[in-house]
Chain A
Amino acid sequence: NAGVTQTPKFRVLKTGQSMTLLCAQDMNHEYMYWYRQDPGMGLRLIHYSVGEGTTAKGEVPDGYNVSRLKKQNFLLGLESAAPSQTSVYFCASSYKTLDREAKNIQYFGAGTRLSVL
């Protein structure tokens, strides 16, 4: 059982280049999330999705776009990368359930380390 898989693991971009980060989960989770982690800032939510075909903005959405065409995949796109987007990106997923404890437990991928020069 792979859980949440992120590709690529590392990437270096030049300013202005574009790229897509892929997240795939095999747990049949309804909800998926993209976070970025920066030193001293913790994890901040970029975008999230409550189901196939739906997405919503999180805390820091500017400069990013997302798509959820299939339930198991959640894509994060950078159309024109900037040095401020240098970060570690984490994808997560969670169940849709009425169980208050289970619904809050998010399962994370191993992260993508992105450097924008």
Chain B
Amino acid sequence: DQQVKQNSPSLSVQEGRISILNCDYTNSMFDYFLWYKKYPAEGPTFLISISSIKDKNEDGRFTVFLNKSAKHLSLHIVPSQPGDSAVYFCAASAPWWGAQKLVFGQGTRLTINP
């Protein structure tokens, strides 16, 4: 039972344009969401997060939007740069998970074309 889903395995975007990565979740009790970025042969690194009390969080070129009614979040990267080519994972956390466990989506491979 996949509680966090990223339905697009891959995405190709031209340099300078906007990249939009999507994530859906099924558990309405999730209250914190994160995006991680992963380069080949490296571990995932934290990118940006959002609490369920917000609908938007922005950090430089990266913005995460949360639509609680649709159980959907998206990551916008503007403008896209070649160094953004990586696999992006969304993750969710529930308040009762005292050990701060995360549930991850399957990942989306983003390729930025020059």
Point out residues on A near B: beta carbons under 8 Å.
4, 31, 33, 35, 40-45, 48, 50, 56, 58, 90, 92, 94, 100-101, 103-111
Point out residues on B near A: beta carbons under 8 Å.
4, 6, 9, 32, 34, 41-46, 49, 51, 89, 93, 98-107
Q: Name B9's closest neighbour in chain A (CB-CB).
A: A40
Q: Point out the residue from A41, A50, A104, A110 that lies within 8 Å of B98, measured CB to CB.
A: A50
Interface SS majority for chain B: loop
> Is the beta-carbon distance between B44 and A90 smaller than 8 angstroms?
yes
A10 to B34, CA, bound (A): 28
From known contacts A40-B9, A43-B89, infer whether A103 and B100 are also in contact, taking CB-CB under 8 Å.
Answer: yes
Given the complex, which residues of A lie within 8 Å of B104, measured CB to CB? 35, 42-44
> Is the beta-carbon distance between B34 and A104 smaller than 8 angstroms?
yes
Closest Cβ–Cβ distance, residue B93 to chain A (whole Å): 5
> Is the beta-carbon distance between B106 and A42 smaller than 8 angstroms?
yes
> Is the beta-carbon distance between A42 and B107 smaller than 8 angstroms?
yes
> Is the beta-carbon distance between A109 and B107 smaller than 8 angstroms?
no
Given the complex, which residues of B lie within 8 Å of A111, measured CB to CB? 41-43
Contacts A/B (CB < 8 Å), 17 sampled: A40-B9, A42-B6, A42-B89, A44-B104, A45-B101, A45-B102, A48-B99, A50-B99, A56-B99, A58-B101, A90-B44, A100-B51, A101-B32, A101-B49, A108-B43, A108-B45, A111-B42
> Is the beta-carbon distance between B93 and A104 smaller than 8 angstroms?
yes
> Is the beta-carbon distance between B51 and A101 smaller than 8 angstroms?
yes
From known contacts A41-B106, A100-B51, infer whether A105 and B43 are also in contact, taking CB-CB under 8 Å.
Answer: no
A58 to B102, CA, bound (A): 10
Q: Name A90's closest neighbour in chain B (CB-CB).
A: B43
Closest Cβ–Cβ distance, residue B41 to chain A (whole Å): 7
Q: Point out the residue from B41, B100, B106 that lies within 8 Å of A40, measured CB to CB.
A: B106
A31 to B107, CA, bound (A): 24
Q: Name A4's closest neighbour in chain B (CB-CB).
A: B43
> Is the beta-carbon distance between A43 and B34 smaller than 8 angstroms?
no
Closest A-B pairs by Cβ, 5 of them: A108-B43, A42-B104, A43-B104, A42-B106, A105-B46
Not counting A31-B100, A35-B104, a sample of 7 additional A-B residue pairs whose C-beta atoms are within 8 angstroms of each other reads A43-B104, A48-B101, A92-B43, A101-B49, A104-B100, A105-B34, A110-B42
